[in-house]
Structure formats: C-alpha cells, structure tokens
Amino acid sequence: MPDKNSTFKNFNFPEGELLLINKPYNWTSFDVVGKIRNSMKPLKLKVGHAGTLDPLATGLLIVCTGKLTKQIDTFQAEEKEYTGTMVLGATTPSYDLETEVDQIFSLEGISEEKIKENTKQFLGEIDQFPPAHSAIKINGERLYEKARRGETIERRSRKVTISVFEITQIELPEIHFRVVCSKGTYIRSLIHDFGAALQNGAFLSKLTRTRSGNFHLKDAYEVMDLVNHIRSQKTETTPVG
C-alpha cells in the first residue's frame, strides 16, 4: 500500500468521488459504506459500492459518493481479479469458513497435475449456481436468511465468464489460486465446483479482490485512515439533499 499521507486530498463528495477501499476482514461491504457515509456528516449524500465482497473476503471495494453514484452499475460491470486459498478434501454448507465442515474426503490419488488440469474445464463461459449462503434476494428475502433457518432453497444458475483460473501454489490440503472473471461470479461456488469436479470436496478459506476494471488494490485506502482524514477535513461544500 502506498503512503496515504501523500495521496489524501480535499475531496468534493457532492460532485462525486470514487474511493478505492481495502475492505477489512469480517466487515460487510455495507459496513464500509456506512462508516464512510457517517464520516461525511452533516452532508446528506448518497454513498454506494460497486460490487459486494463477502464479510470473510478482503480487498478492493469501490465506493462512490454524490453524483458519481449514478455510475456504480458501470464500475460494477468491470472484470474482477482475485487471489485466494482453498482447502481441498472437505466441504462446508456456505462453501467458505462461515459454517463448519460437513464432509471430509481422502486426498489419496490427488496429484499436482490433476489439480492443474482440473482448472481448464472452468475457463470461458460457464453456468454457476450462487451459494445458498449468499445475499441474492428471492421473493424479497436474502438466500442466507433462508439457509440459516434450514429451509430448502431453489437457486437459479447464471452465466459467468472465467478468463483466468491459475493454481499458484499447492501445499495440500491448501491450494493457492488466482482468478480473473466477469461480474456476478461467486468464487465460493467456483471452488466448491472445482472440488466436486475432482470427485472430492473443497471450500474457500481466504479471498482477496486485487483488481476491478483498471482499479488496483495497491492504490486503495485503509478504511479507517480515510474515515479519520474525512473527519478532519474542513469541507466548504454545502449539503446536498
């Protein structure tokens, strides 16, 4: 991360600012937006994010303010890049560390060659089902709310595109990877399906978004550094309703 003391500026939030944030672990994307919105008081501004990150994921979150919130859909549609770690030989209902392991598989016969070869079938346009523990709404209710009550959930597949699925390091049961994909891709689902394709199991243990379009994590602010700067900034703009 660069020295943010040299990159902070006097923001014009009503006219619109695009803020690159390094979302902390265990924060929701809405937590980040709320923290930034509250730091701008008494200005009453629209603040939104382009592309949700799960609470257990970290990395680049694009936050827009004021008039720039009208362009959120454009930023959200951009290609994304992630790095992460999966655990092979087990599954969880949420496809990540949110829930406990529910199945364990033997790693006997799983070779490095087989792991790397397995990525090829996920390249290009694929059909993907969102995890049951996801924020997608069906009939006005988020899937994870139904999943936590133990209800049966009907999920619809969606078309997503995987441009890169690279295995960067293998330390079984852990496998490190890099993925470049279209918007709407669930990396948790990709990892779950990857394990199933090996006739095994896998779940996501770590995920970081490193890029969204032409914006990179290396240029992002730490959220509390930015919030403290905003609070200390003497804003001369007038509130916008």
Is 54 an annotated catalytic residue? yes
Cis peptide leading into residue 42 (ω within 30°): yes
Q: Is 199 helix (H, G, I), strand (E, B) or coil?
A: coil
Residue type, 220: A
54, 73, 102, 127: the catalytic one is 54
The b/e string for 190-210 (b: 16+ C-beta within 10 A; e otherwise) is bbbbbbeebebbbbbbbbbbb
What crossing angle do the helices spanning 223-232 and 29-39 adopt, rounded to 10°? 10
Residue 208 and residue 59 in contact, taking contact as beta carbons nearer than 8 Å? yes
Sign of the Cα torsion 24, 26, 30, 36 reads negative
Please name which of 199, 201, 193 lies closest in space to residue 173, comparing C-alpha atoms. Answer: 201
Give the residue numbers marked as catalytic: 54
